[in-house]
Structure 1
Amino acid sequence: MKIELINGVSRGTLEITARKAADKKVAERILQNEFTAMGLCQGDVVSILVASDIAEKTSEVVVSELNGMCPQHITCLGIFGDVTSVEESLAAIESRFNKK
């Protein structure tokens, strides 16, 4: 699984992400600049679902699938929140997938 963290997300990146968010309520929150950090996980569907569950159980974050060119497939997970919460979630995800 590919995992990335963006702190202090730029306005343009927020706009791109909002357009890709499957959950329109999350998209609105992204555009309102509610989040100071964004974690991104890319992998197969099973891995994305497991990562989503880990993220929400680890810290106070909001998750949403981010659609790519084929919106019928979950290709990327966005994890949104404050820097510490997103970092904790990504560390737990990375720990889980590095064990395999």
Structure 2
Amino acid sequence: MHPLDKFLKKRDYDRATLAKKANVAHSTLTSVVNRSTSVYDMRIWVLVTLIDLIQGDEPDANMDSVLQELSLYEAQYGFDEALKELKEKGGYIDDGITE
């Protein structure tokens, strides 16, 4: 799951809600996700709108806290994608260890 979607899902929001709040087309955010845009390559308005969206419930939210959370999700997303690719290519050996 893309970091943006994970961030929104954690708070029971979705891209449509964010698009409406930012006054942009839903397809704009969909393209961010479909292109697997890095957190650090997202436009500043996306981050500012995320902060604005959650500020009512999380008054201490700021650019640093949002970027930190998105970065953690991005690291997990990258790991998940790499593991998926390994499995598809047959280079993954299941060692029987579960999460």
Q: Under a length normalisation based on structure 1, what TM-score does the superposition of the two structures give?
A: 0.30
Structure having the higher helix fraction is 2
Structure having the higher strand fraction is 1
Q: Under a length normalisation based on structure 2, what TM-score does the superposition of the two structures give?
A: 0.30
- Higher gyration radius (CA): 2
